[in-house]
Amino acid sequence: MENDFTQMSRRRFAAGFAIGSVALALPLPLRALTVDEARSLVDRAVADINKVINSGKSESAMFGDFERIFSKYADVPVIARSALGVAAKSASGGQMSAFTKAFQGYISRKYGRRFREFIGGRIEVTGAQPLKSYYEVISVAHLKGEAPFDLRWHVSDKSGKNLFFNIIIEGVNMLASERAEVGAMLDKRKGNIDALIEDLKKV
């Protein structure tokens, strides 16, 4: 009787140990991005942008600052892949890496020129809300001599970090407009991704 009890206890211990080992091996659930974290990210990005647009620096110096801001707060690989569209599926790893780097410089200069229009003004974050599987952070641009207008930032943590992956300026969606523009540039080059990469560096 004692041997049966001892064997049963050992089996229970072994089973409990096995279950515990499996539980320890399972990945812990990831902590979800919160609305406050999404707003905090955009607050920091906006503070950096406001600092640059009112720094009095030259255009070229501003572009370098905007690229650093873009690489710090934006999910550049996701935005670049979206911009390249279906062509991203056939691109090699090396081409995607080169395209992402060229696109980062291109988008920083393009939106840097737009943000330079805000010189003497400011961007103010006014709210945030959940939207589908991400958060939308709402801000307002105040420019001298112009009516304030809307800027919306889409923030996600799907890449493992809290980053924005889209900006909507006065209703113009960055992801959609860049996909159309880059697609047209690629069509003009007959689908040659390498040629597109070289040309993006010059835009």
- Cα 189 to Cα 64, 94, 110, 194, 199: the distances in Å are 28, 19, 21, 9, 10
Q: What is the DSSP letter of 11?
A: H
**Under 8 Å between Cβ of 35 and 130:** yes
**What pLDDT, on the 0 to 100 scale, is given for residue 148?**
93
Cα-trace Rg, the chain: 24
* 186: nearest Cα among 202, 175, 172, 197: 197
**What pLDDT, on the 0 to 100 scale, is given for residue 72?**
97
Between CA 113 and CA 62 the distance in angstroms is 9
Longest dimension (CA), the chain: 93
Note the residue count of the chain: 203
**Under 8 Å between Cβ of 169 and 148:** no
Start-to-end C-alpha separation, the chain: 85
Fold of 35-200: Nuclear Transport Factor 2; Chain: A, (3.10.450)
SS3 state of residue 141: strand
- Element containing residue 77 per DSSP (H, E): helix 76-84
pTM reported for the whole predicted model: 0.81
- Cα 106 to Cα 63, 70, 140, 194: the distances in Å are 10, 11, 24, 15
Tokens 């996909």 map to which residue? 179
- Element containing residue 147 per DSSP (H, E): none
Residues of the chain with confidence (pLDDT) below 50 = 1-2, 4-30
**What pLDDT, on the 0 to 100 scale, is given for residue 199?**
94
